A and B are shown apart, each in its own frame.
Chain A
């Protein structure tokens, strides 16, 4: 089944403890992206990747890191999480950048709580 898989679905951690949220897609998509969703603020892009070894900042990149060593994986790293990073995170992918009929496919989300 074609899908975007995020893990974990739920995560509770403490301030300053490094964590990684994994994202994997099995559709051979070139484009991958991370969003955070907060009440009243909608979906805001954190980082995105046009292809392997190519990553770029979105609208709210502070406090986050990403890597794209393989086409299928795009982990989100929080080196020193803070309470303001408590949020619902979505990974998403699409076939290619700028391509006609190349919609965004979202993962199931990761609810992160930082205490």
Chain B
């Protein structure tokens, strides 16, 4: 089955700086890569996703890049703000956009230092 590795497990950055979280996946047939944000005590919520026919996708301060050859994808957050503090999960799926078969990474705890 699919295996998703996520790094780092904890990331501390100064407010205003950029943060990058990286994930690798094992199954080259995976074609859907969502990112979820989980604030303390709350449920995970989708923040951005990318499909294998796209190399990069942006939404305001967040962006995701995908390198299919290397089988890795990354989340980039620019101009970080206190409300960006959360646990971020990457995931990979073979289903092309549906949620079935999602394999999650172990999560990255992002800490924004004031």
Contacts and interface: CB of A to CB of B under 8 A. Distances in A.
Contacts of B98: 31, 94-100, 102
A109 B100 contact: no
B100 A103 contact: no
A107 B100 contact: no
A106 B32 CA distance: 18
Contacts of B1: 59
Nearest to B41: A109
B49 A103 contact: yes
Contact of B44 (A59, A94, A106): A106
> Quick one: which of A31, A50, A104, A107 has the most chain B CB within 10 A?
A104
B89 A43 contact: yes
Interface residues of A, number: 30
> Quick one: which of B6, B46, B102 has the most chain A CB within 10 A?
B102
A100 B34 CA distance: 12
A46 interface: no
Contact of B102 (A95, A96, A104): A104
Contacts of A106: 43-45
B34 A31 contact: no
Interface of A: 31, 33, 35, 40-45, 48, 50, 59, 90, 92-104, 106-109
